[in-house]
Structure 1
């Protein structure tokens, strides 16, 4: 079995929401962080109106702030994190 599959299954759930709201999505591990953000907006029915950030294995990234991915969310793919 491939330890780094071409497709990832993610559970998207915002913190601090009661009752819990979540979506399960299948995505390519080659998509960028920026594309993942778009997928999340569409699947959750959001309009990109709130601040957000990603924390993946200790890496932090969000819209124009103090912590950003070295390569930027438009070029950094999920494959860079060796997700399984």
Structure 2
């Protein structure tokens, strides 16, 4: 059994701050890493060498709803 969960908003994986709204508007600077999405405030508190940065986004940027960050999550239940 599996479930698909749409991503309406994008959140920081550390503090749950809303990073991107349903329109794809970036509300807060953040970094997309191999680990997940991290707001810039939390990222500065970490050892950046522990992460591979994929992309950085700034407040005011727009991310298309077709972008892979908005790909629905697939959860499989056993």
Fold equivalence (TM over 0.5): no
TM-score bin (small chain): 0.3 to 0.5
Q: TM-score, normalised by structure 2?
A: 0.34
> Comparing both chains, which one has the higher relative contact order based on Cα–Cα distances under 8 Å and sequence gaps of 6 or more?
2
- Larger fraction in strand: 2
Q: TM-score, normalised by structure 1?
A: 0.32
